[in-house]
Structures are given as C-alpha cells and as structure tokens.
Amino acid sequence: MELYARVNILDGRAVRLPYGDVNDWIALDDDPVNRARGWVAKGAHRLHIVDLDAAAYGDYKNRDLIAEMIRAVDVPVQVGGGIRSQAEVERVLGMGASRVVMGTLPIIDQVLFWELNRQHPHRIIVSLDVRPDFEISIKGWTEQTGEYLEETLINLSSGGAAGFMISEVGRDALVEPPNFEAFELAVSLVDEPVIAAGGVRDLDDIAALVALSVDGRRLAGLVVGREVTSGRFTIEEAAEALAVTEDIRGPWTRSELDAALVEYSRTVGDPADTEAAATFVAWLASGGA
C-alpha cells in the first residue's frame, strides 16, 4: 500500500477541516510548499492536494501555489478540487500533477467523463463519498444521487477511471472505524487501484486495512492528514505500518501496467524507450505469450 499525505489548501494556507465543513477550518501552515516537502521528507509516497477554494467557491486562485508545491517534491502528486471541465483537467495535468481527482462530474456527466478518460488515459481518479447504506453523495456531501457503490464502481471502471478513492459520508475518522465492508466490496469489483481516503483512527486501523484482502486483492493506498496533525501517529509510523506489503509483487492488472507505462513515458525522452516498454507491457498482459 502507498501512503498519501493530504494537504488541504484554503486561501493560500494549509488547513484542516475537523468536520469536513469548509466554513469550519483550522489553519495549519502558512507555507503549504514547506508542508508538502515535510510530508515527503517524513516518508509519504505521494501527495494528495485538495484545492478547497476551487471546490467550494469555484475560485482558482490557489492553482499557481499548487503548481509550486508539485515542483517542490520528487513524488507523484494528485490534485482535486474544482476540476469539472476538460480545460481544468488539462490545466492541472499541465502543472505537473500525475493525476487529477474528480468527484461530482463522473456521477452527473458520464459521457464527458468517458471522453476525458479517452483523452487522458490512466490520469483521472474518481473520489466517491459513500453513505452508510452505500449510496453515493456528491457536491461535498450535500446531495444524494440515488446511485450506489456497486453500480457506480462498475460503470466508472468501464468508463476508464484510473482508480477510486473512497471516503465515508458523515463519519468522524478520529472516532469511528473505517467502513471495511465498503472497501471489501470495492476491491472485489474493480481491477483499478482502490484508495482508502476517509482517514483512520490509529495504527490498528491501518493494520486492518493492510490485512484487508478479497481473493488476494488488496487496497492500493491510504490517505492520511488530520490523524497525524492530531498526534494519533506520525508519518514515519504510518509508512512503517504499510511497509509490510512492500514485498508483494504482482500479478498486476492491465490497468495498473498501463498506468505505470504512462508515468514511465513522462520521465524518458526517447520514444524508442517508451515503445519498447509498451511492447513489454503488452507481452506481460498476454501472459508472456
């Protein structure tokens, strides 16, 4: 499992939302770039940045700051918040983000979502907010959709989603346990990576998520943030708790191989290298035939 460190940006500052309400925030750091570097230095494998101004108010004033954060670290960075159009997908990817995170648009406009995935394969992660009965909520938990986790995962997987982040609506992550049943359902249904994004209470919860397995399929990642700032555990301790899965290698799904190929192609300058890698991926996917 990979460890994602969350950085919420509001009005140019890193903040914490104790109850998920953008109007009820606690300032953490006036220098989000330094905070991003700190998370990585302590052992985070990836960063998950959320632009709260863009998400809540349609105000994109933090985009330049987020681009600076991306340039400041040497790990993949995914960005969510206010990404609701083709232009904004291209803008954020152009800033250097490895992936963009979308929540509402994949639910309300699947045709556009499919088209975006056609144009940017393996670069769009879907964030799903799941109620206790597995119904999906959108627009910051303010609207119920009448659609449920199982059908939504299947539909959006077929639409080209690069992976799924799952959070639980109304759950106090520092008090209540994760919804293990939702995660088990997700990993059983889709080949794409599933990331636990709702937070955990302690290292015991992390251990339980690491151990979660359905027919050998496991969670791909965990997002942490306020648990660390609240003193429940450190980034170093979380990374160590996840490291027990580092020696697990394959078999990989075709989606995971293709996603790795996309990231590899961005780091090499020789098209011949990328073509050779693509040939190798195709050979692996065929079972070595």
Same structural domain, 114 and 238: yes
Say whether pLDDT at 256 is over 80.
no
pLDDT greater at residue 272 or residue 5: 5
- Asked if residues 89 and 47 have their Cβ atoms less than 8 Å apart, the reply is no
Say whether pLDDT at 287 is over 70.
no
For range 190-208, the mean pLDDT: 95
Same structural domain, 233 and 253: no
How far apart, in Å, are the Cα atoms of 35 and each of 7, 28, 62, 65, 105?
A: 8, 9, 15, 12, 29
Check residue 249 and give its pLDDT: 45
For range 22-28, the mean pLDDT: 73
Say whether pLDDT at 60 is over 70.
yes
Same structural domain, 240 and 273: no
Structure token pair of residue 275: 């073509």
* 3 vs 76: CA distance, rounded Å: 11
Same structural domain, 9 and 137: yes
Same structural domain, 149 and 283: no
Check residue 119 and give its pLDDT: 95
The H or E element spanning position 241 is helix 235-242
**What are 163-198's pLDDT values in tens digits?**
999 998 878 888 989 999 999 999 999 999 999 999
Same structural domain, 239 and 255: no
Q: How many CB atoms lie within 10 A of CB 71?
A: 13
Of all residues in the chain, the percent with pLDDT exceeding 90 is 63
Check residue 37 and give its pLDDT: 96
pLDDT greater at residue 75 or residue 270: 75
Check residue 253 and give its pLDDT: 60
Same structural domain, 223 and 258: no
Say whether pLDDT at 280 is over 50.
yes
CB contact set of 135 (below 8 Å; sequence gap of 6+)? 144, 145, 146, 147, 148, 149
Same structural domain, 194 and 286: no
Check residue 247 and give its pLDDT: 42
Same structural domain, 70 and 96: yes
Q: Is 33 helix (H, G, I), strand (E, B) or coil?
A: helix
For the chain, the domain total comes to: 2
Structure token pair of residue 215: 């027919």
In this structure, what CATH number is given to the domain that contains residue 149? 3.20.20.70
Structural domain of residue 284, as residue ranges?
A: 249-289
- Asked if residues 148 and 134 have their Cβ atoms less than 8 Å apart, the reply is yes
How far apart, in Å, are the Cα atoms of 64 and each of 11, 91, 107, 194?
A: 12, 11, 28, 29
DSSP state for residue 167 in the 8-state scheme = E
Q: Is 16 helix (H, G, I), strand (E, B) or coil?
A: strand
Structure token pair of residue 103: 């929540």
Same structural domain, 126 and 81: yes
Check residue 20 and give its pLDDT: 61
Same structural domain, 10 and 142: yes
**What are 227-253's pLDDT values in tens digits?**
998 899 999 999 999 986 444 445 566
Same structural domain, 154 and 82: yes
